[in-house]
Amino acid sequence: FGGAKGGVKLNPKAYTSSQLETITRRYTMELCQKNFIGPGLDVPAPDVGTGAREMSWIMDTYRQFNPQDVNAAGCVTGKPISQGGVRGRNEATGLGVYYGVREFLRFPEVQKMTGLTGEIAGKTVIVQGFGNVGYWAAKFFHKNGAKVIGIGEHDVAAYDPRGLDVDAIFKHRAEKGSFRGFGNAEMIEESTKVLERECDILIPAALERQIGLKNVKGIKAKVIGEAANGPITPDAHDYLVSQGTVVIPDLLLNAGGVTVSYFEWLKNLSHVRFGRMSRKWEEAGKSKLLALVEENAGRKLTTKERRAVIHGAEEHELVYSGLEDTMIDACEETRTTAAAKDTDFRTAAFINAIQKISTVTTQSGQMFL
């Protein structure tokens, strides 16, 4: 958030936790000394090989260099809840992927191109990459009725046309260090081959350039949702589009993490948890309305029913709502531009982005030289 991107190139598995902390803090120190980080300047977030732990180290280091900054918690996002993080951030990118694919399946033109119905339930899904993004994307597809038939990791891929239990295979890998030995699933030793298995929806959620000219003709998915950054090469993308495959581009589909990072930043600047000021007031209003309804209906709700009706939104529910609304709007904008310009969804997403930058630049009085 601010325009920059940076990191430390290393294999985190080759270092102890103490060493990683030292490296992370030193990296942050360099950013602080060069004035490259701050809540009103540039705000990093976790990416490959990092998570809430590293973001907490970054924030603590920034605070040591800027003890007077009352908004110091907003210098980085993706933090633990106890350190000013926001509930819902951990699963945000994967949830955004689910929302985006769900919206595209509802578009009549996508249904016509793919022959698929507009419902997630019953669709077959293959996910490449089982890190934070891939796991949560698979989990939300599974939770909403899709059949996750394949999951690929760096060492091996698991495949079962009957469907994989996402939580069970996640637990198995956490305990054994690999998918190997999980139930009756087929193990695909050349893990990238799972991309070429037949499915309705393919979610590359690992690294860049996973689908190129070397394997694109083997891709059988009807819809590809780019959860990773740049998983499809430009030439492969052109081929897929020419074959009628729906490609939902990364700059649109995997924006959930950045979106919720923005919500976390807003929380840090406001110094109050989302829902704290309004939840009980909302519940009180619903309770009064429910009492009037019960009085006129002549029936009292059970305690469980009453609790479900008057429940005020908690932080993660507000975050989910904001993310869903953002993704729905962005998908609709992309669809509209693609239809108006008679182009593919990636080009449409770029057109929208460039037009927004142009509008802001022009209206602010700036001129490109």
Give the residue numbers annotated as catalytic, written as ranges: 5
Neighbours of 270 (CB within 10 A): 13
Q: How far apart are the first and last CA of the chain?
A: 25
- Cα angle: 274, vertex 94, 158; to 5 degrees: 150
Around 182, how many Cα atoms within 13 Å sit in the side-chain half-sphere? 29
Q: What is the DSSP letter of 32?
A: H
Exposure b/e, 101-132, CB count within 10 A at least 16 = b:
bbbbbbbeebeeebebeeebeebbbbbbbbbb
CA distance 203 to 334: 19
In sequence order, what are the residues at sequence separation of 6 or more whose Cβ sits closer than 8 angstroms to the Cβ of residue 53?
80
CA distance 49 to 47: 6
* Contact between 114 and 246 (Cβ < 8 Å): yes
